[in-house]
Structure formats: structure tokens, C-alpha cells
Structure 1
Amino acid sequence: MTDSYTPNATAEGWNQFVDQMNQQFMDAFEQNVEAQAEFVESWTETFESSVDDDEMTEGVKGYARAYEAWMDAAQRMVDRANDAAQGEDVEVEEFRDIWLNTANEAFKEAMSTTAFAAATGESVGEALDLRQQADEAAESTLHDLGFATEGDVVEIGERLVELERRQHAVEEKLDRILEELDE
């Protein structure tokens, strides 16, 4: 068995490499499009129920700016992939940086709208209401089981502070009475 250099083997290896790169790029692009579609779907569902028409219009414009950022990134990726195919030295990290920077830019565009702020505010409000209900249920359950609850401890603390205040007042009166008797 001999190892010999054949131009066809090299070309075939290069073609496989390029095919693999193209496939990976297309897979990444497809995942990006799917992620965008999921984002739009969940974004739309959230905002339809929580924002008015003006906020919705602004939110759609914010999403459009984010979409433009993604499409610009896709074009830059294609351009850099073409540059690499033409022999230019393109670092793999450059591709990663394009997507990371674009993700930051796109989310900033979507999140800086009043629609996003309104929906986030509503979500936080609902989460706080849910937390309060859970806290009340937990405290009720603990109280029913005979355990001291946070409310019980707070009440005891308030009573102790009141007792200390009254004791201090009695001590001051006693000190005045003792002073009067000494005179």
C-alpha cells in the first residue's frame, strides 16, 4: 500500500469540506429562522393581550428593526462565507461574533419599545400577584398545622417593641418620682 498524492483526492476532500461548511451554515441559518419565528409567535401572543394599538404599532416597528438586524447579519455571514470560499483568511470567531452582536442588537430593538415595557410590567405584576397568593396559601397552611408563620413572628415583634416602649415610659416616670422623693 502506498501513500501517493492525487489531485482528485485533494479536490474531493475540499469539496466535502465545503459541502460540510455549507450544510452547517444552512443548518445554523434554519435554526435562526425557526428561533425568529418562535420569538415572533410568542411576542405577538404576549403583546396582543397586554398593549394598546399605539404600543402595538411601536412594538411591531421595534420587531421590524430587530428583523432587519437579523437579515443584515445573515447577509454578512453569506458575504464572509463567500470571502472564505475565495481564499480570504476568515476566522471562525468572526461568524460567532456576527451572530452574538446581532442578537444583542435585535433584542435591544425589541426590548426598548413601550409595548415591551407594558407587557413586561403586566407580567411582573401578574407574577407578584401569584407570589402573594402562594405566600398567603403557605402561611395559611403553616398556621393550620400549628407552626409559627412570618405574620405571627412580625406580630410578636411589634408587641415586643410596644412593650419596650411602655416599659421605657414607666421607667422614666419612676425616675421622676424617685427624683421628687429625693428632693
Structure 2
Amino acid sequence: MNDSSTTDAAQHDWTSFMEEMNEQFVDALEQNVEAQAEFVESWSETLESSADDERLGEGVQGYAKAYQVWMDAAQEMVERTADAAEGEEVDVEEFRDVWLNSANQAFKEVMSTSAFAAATGETVQDAMEVRQMADDSAEATLRQLRIPTQSDVEEIGDRLVELERRQHEVERKLDRVLEHLEE
């Protein structure tokens, strides 16, 4: 092999590496922007629904911390890209890891706020109310169709347990009466 073909091969390898790195970087950046947009949208909806000024302030601080985590990740990505451009060997998976770790840290910043806890509590409460309405509606429909409902079965079960309790009590009393008669 001559120097020209070695140089061409090295140039081709470098070009391929940079193309792959650029694609990975663009993909990661697009995913990051989409994740941030979804995050900001859901977070702003959560904050708008919270009437407590203290909770709102804490929520904004949590978002600010999360935003800083994202910006630090972006800065790290730029630095690692520059390192790769200068010839340092940078594993493409390192870029993914930066975004994943940053996402985890950013969500941790947000989820540790009382605003997030309040919003989660409200969501759970709303879900429980919807479930109760669905259960009530299903039970009403089953009653109209003359099909036993869960509450009907539970009532029958409670009655059976009470009957068994009474039966055992009658048996104990009967045993005492028999003991007295035998004496």
C-alpha cells in the first residue's frame, strides 16, 4: 500500500466517524428538544393548576434547576464533539449516556418539588373519582340487567359470615345445655 491509499483510507474512516457522530448528535439533540418541549408543556400546565404561590415558586425553582441540568448536558455535548473533532476517541454511546443521565437528573429536580407532588396527588384523586363513577355506572347497568353485582356478592358473603357466626354461637349454647343435662 502506498501513502496515498493509506491517507485516503484514514480520511474515509474519519469522514465516516464524523458522519456517524453528527447523526447521533443531531438525533440526540432532536430528542432532547422534543423531551424539553413536552416537559415544559406539562410542567406549565401543572403550575397553572396550582393556586398556592409558595408551591408555584418552588415549582419554578425546580424547573429552573432542571433547565440548568439540560444546559449543562448540552455544554458537555459540545465539548465532547469538539474533543472528537480534535482527534480524541469519543464513543458514540457516551452522547446517549449524557442525555439519559441528564434526563434522569432533570426529572429528579422537578419530581422533588411540592408542586409536582400536589399535581400528582390531584391526578390520582381525579383518576379515583373517574374510576368510582365508572364502577357506579357499571353497577347500575348490571342491576338493570338483573345481574348480580360485586356489592350484591359482597352482601351475600357478609350474610353468610354472620350466619356462620350465629350458628357457632347456637352450637356453643347447645353444648352447654347438653353438658348441664348430662350432669
Normalising by the smaller structure, the TM-score range is: 0.7 to 0.9
How far apart, CA to CA, are the structure 2 residues paired with 1:155 and 1:135? 17
Query: 1:85: how far off?
Result: 1.1
Match of 1:150 in 2: 150
Query: Are positions 1:43 and 2:43 aligned together?
Result: yes
TM-score by length of structure 1 reads: 0.88
Paired residue type of 2:56: M
Query: Are positions 1:118 and 2:118 aligned together?
Result: yes
Paired residue type of 1:134: A
Match of 1:130 in 2: 130
How far apart, CA to CA, are the structure 2 residues paired with 1:82 and 1:107? 28
How far apart, CA to CA, are the structure 1 residues paired with 2:21 and 2:43? 32
For the 8 Å contact 1:58–1:113, the answer to whether it is kept is: yes
- Structure 2 unaligned regions, length at least 5: none
Query: 1:99: how far off?
Result: 0.9
Distance change >3 Å, CA 181–CA 56, structure 1 → 2: same
Q: Give the aligned CA root-mean-square deviation in angstroms.
A: 2.1
Deviations 1:114-158 (A, max 9, x none): 000011011101111111111111122122212221101110010
Query: Are positions 1:52 and 2:52 aligned together?
Result: yes
Alignment of 1:1-183 (within 5 A): 5=5, 11=11, 14-15=14-15, 18=18, 21-183=21-183
TM-score by length of structure 2 reads: 0.88
- Structure 1 unaligned regions, length at least 5: none
For the 8 Å contact 1:51–1:119, the answer to whether it is kept is: no
How far apart, CA to CA, are the structure 2 residues paired with 1:180 and 1:172? 13
For the 8 Å contact 2:66–2:105, the answer to whether it is kept is: yes
> What is the total number of aligned residue pairs between the two structures?
180
Query: 1:80: how far off?
Result: 0.6
For the 8 Å contact 1:51–1:118, the answer to whether it is kept is: no
Query: 1:61: how far off?
Result: 0.4
How far apart, CA to CA, are the structure 1 residues paired with 2:26 and 2:172? 84
Deviations 1:61-103 (A, max 9, x none): 0011001001100111111111111111111121111111111
Distance change >3 Å, CA 156–CA 135, structure 1 → 2: same
Query: 1:34: how far off?
Result: 3.0
Paired residue type of 1:179: E
Paired residue type of 1:100: L
Deviations 1:11-59 (A, max 9, x none): 5774575356335423431331232122111211122113411101100
How far apart, CA to CA, are the structure 2 residues paired with 1:180 and 1:140? 53
How far apart, CA to CA, are the structure 1 residues paired with 2:24 and 2:165? 74
Paired residue type of 1:50: S
Paired residue type of 1:81: T
For the 8 Å contact 1:50–1:122, the answer to whether it is kept is: no
What is the percent sequence identity of the aligned residues? 66
Distance change >3 Å, CA 77–CA 175, structure 1 → 2: same
